[in-house]
Amino acid sequence: MSRLDIKSDDYYRSLTDRLITAARNIGADLSVSLREGVEFGVTVRDKEIEELEEASSSVISLSVNIGNKVATATSNDLSTNMLDQLLLSTIERAKLSSVDDSAIFPSFQKLDFDPGKLELYSESIHSITPDKAILLAQQLEERCSSDSRITLSLGASFSRNEYHNVLALSNGFWGSSRRTSCSLGVGLQAGEEESAYQSGWSDSAIDQNRLLSVDEISIKAIEHTTRMLDARKIETQTLPVLVDRYVSGQIIGFLLQCINGRNIYTNQSLFTGKLGEQIANSNLTLYDEPLLPGALGSRAFDSEGIPCRHNLLIDKGVLSNYILNTYTSHKLRLPVNGMASGTSNLIMGPGKYQENDLIQSIDKGILLLDTIGQGTDTTTGGFSKGAFGIMIENGKLTYPVSEITISSSIDKMLMGIDKIGNNADERKS
């Protein structure tokens, strides 16, 4: 597998400084984002290689701001002549744009944190040869297919990525970071025809040494695929719902849409004007932690060169932060908070209960395992999606249920949180 052609920071500084100087000479502010990377991936199905790809990529993005008139451009060609032409054409388009008083250029904030401390790059990732990657995928598929309940393999895959990211702004910010990642996963089907259920499992990490083993992934994949066999329909009723830790992200993801600054200032969120107010049960605390060493979502600075920091989103049920960039923070007259790139490592404050404790506390309810569909509305908070789960009766898991709809609203769901589990993945911390 190819390695990324690592260029020195001096090379990237020279490239970005030349563009920024040219822009400033014309009276424009400029943001330059550059990424170079190498990707490798293999997918096997029924022991045979279905896909095998390796690619290198380079992409540069320019954002020009002239008196709050903005234009952007992207190119895969990093040659000097092409970048000069791209900059000039972007500046001309910016001049023709309308003035937007909130489209201010990001202010400089000094980056005191060394991105290298995040440990996002691992040299050991290069020890995974194509033959070893293929073997890992084949072993994973074989171990899953050996279970008689699995009727079809949807394929097993291994991928490996290496990137170098650079961000430079005419306000004086300059940042560089290297990153690696890899993943191993499998898709499966259990059951036949109309009763078939598809699922699987995958794991991702900075390097292969932090991945779950083939055995661990196969056990999880088989469990998540076969637990819905012989699912039943149930009548419409109101029941408590226990949200599986791995599906909770789908609900939290909707919450993040509702507190995104753009939806807030356009009044397309039910949480507009709710900053500092109670929007959830007091047992809920949610925060973003971008400076965790070795975590896939970690970063030292956001897409506008603002240093990333610990951000408390919900503090004991109180809405404490919106997800902001420079534009939305100006619209809302709030300070930027280093989340122009969105959230990084989102963490829910641990509760007191193990999953078995939560199950045993429910006389009749549902363990929610998955949702499907797009039934969400940030303006009203409406949440209505198809769902799969397992019935809970007398404190025990009984039988799987399918073809059901979970219908509520995000504010009711947040206020209705009764208990929170304490089963964080400590292996990733």
My answer on whether 13 and 157 are in the same domain is yes
Within a domain: 391 = no
My answer on whether 179 and 105 are in the same domain is yes
Count CB atoms within 10 A of the CB of residue 268: 16
pLDDT at 276 over 60: yes
The pLDDT confidence band at residue 273, using thresholds 50, 70 and 90, is very high
My answer on whether 190 and 116 are in the same domain is yes
Burial 36-57 (b: 16+ CB within 10 A, else e): bbbbbbbbbbeeeeeeeeeeee
pLDDT at 82 over 90: yes
pLDDT, tens only, 379-389: 999 999 999 99
What number is the average pLDDT over the span 252-256? 96
Within a domain: 386 = no
My answer on whether 333 and 211 are in the same domain is no
What type of residue sits at position 268? Q
My answer on whether 75 and 167 are in the same domain is yes
Could you tell me how many residues make up the chain? 429
My answer on whether 218 and 283 are in the same domain is no
Pairing of strands 382-393, 376-377: antiparallel
pLDDT at 8 over 70: yes
* Mean pLDDT of the chain, nearest integer: 94
My answer on whether 34 and 128 are in the same domain is yes
Beta bridge mates, 389: 368, 401
Residues 172, 1: Cα–Cα separation, whole Å: 37
Pairing of strands 197-205, 241-243: unpaired
Domain boundary among 285, 319, 345: 345
Q: Which two tokens stand for residue 395?
A: 């404190």
My answer on whether 62 and 136 are in the same domain is yes
Count CB atoms within 10 A of the CB of residue 421: 20
Q: Count of domains in the chain?
A: 2
My answer on whether 76 and 196 are in the same domain is yes
pLDDT, tens only, 168-220: 999 999 999 999 999 999 999 998 877 889 999 999 999 999 999 999 999 99
Q: Which two tokens stand for residue 110?
A: 């000094």
Q: What is the DSSP string of 368-398?
A: EEEEES--EETTTTEEEEEEEEEEEETTEEE
Count CB atoms within 10 A of the CB of residue 161: 17
What number is the average pLDDT over the span 58-79? 97
Count CB atoms within 10 A of the CB of residue 213: 13
Degrees, nearest 5: CA angle 249-252-258: 145
Beta bridge mates, 199: 188
pLDDT at 425 over 80: no
Picking from 428, 383, 390, the residue whose alpha carbon sits closest to that of residue 253 is: 383
My answer on whether 318 and 212 are in the same domain is no
The dihedral formed by the CA atoms of 373, 378, 380 and 385, expressed in degrees to the nearest 10: 10
CB 27 within 8 A of CB 66: yes
CB 287 within 8 A of CB 318: no
Within a domain: 380 = no
Within a domain: 334 = yes
My answer on whether 209 and 305 are in the same domain is no
Cα 302 to Cα 29, 291, 306, 325, 344, distances in angstroms: 18, 12, 5, 9, 10
pLDDT for the residue numbered 427: 42
Within a domain: 31 = yes
> Between 236 and 103, where is the model more confident?
103
Within a domain: 46 = yes
Edge to edge, what strands does the sheet with 69-75 contain? 69-75, 48-66, 29-45, 150-169, 174-190, 197-205
Please tell me the pTM assigned to this model. Answer: 0.92
Degrees, nearest 5: CA angle 322-327-330: 75
Q: Which two tokens stand for residue 383?
A: 């949440």
CATH of the domain at 211: 3.30.2290.10
CB 191 within 8 A of CB 225: no
pLDDT, tens only, 340-352: 999 999 999 878 8
Residues 405, 385: Cα–Cα separation, whole Å: 5
Helices of type H across 97-160 = 130-145
Domain boundary among 171, 203, 226: 226
Contacts of 97 (CB under 8 A, 6+ apart): 69, 70, 71
- The angle that helices 214-226 and 130-145 make with each other, rounded to 10 degrees, is 40
The pLDDT confidence band at residue 290, using thresholds 50, 70 and 90, is very high
pLDDT, tens only, 325-375: 999 999 999 999 999 999 999 999 878 888 899 999 999 999 999 998 889
The pLDDT confidence band at residue 1, using thresholds 50, 70 and 90, is low
**Phi/psi at 271 (nearest 5 deg)?**
-100, 10
Contacts of 284 (CB under 8 A, 6+ apart): 314, 316, 317, 348, 349, 414, 417, 420
The pLDDT confidence band at residue 246, using thresholds 50, 70 and 90, is confident
The pLDDT confidence band at residue 426, using thresholds 50, 70 and 90, is very low
My answer on whether 91 and 218 are in the same domain is yes
Residues 88, 73: Cα–Cα separation, whole Å: 11
pLDDT, tens only, 398-424: 999 988 999 999 999 999 998 888 865
Residues 259, 313: Cα–Cα separation, whole Å: 9
Within a domain: 71 = yes
Within a domain: 428 = no
The boundaries of the domain holding residue 221 are 9-226
* Ramachandran region, residue 67 (left: φ > 0; alpha: ψ -120 to 50; beta: rest): left
Domain boundary among 191, 226, 261: 226
Indicate the DSSP class of residue 260. Answer: B
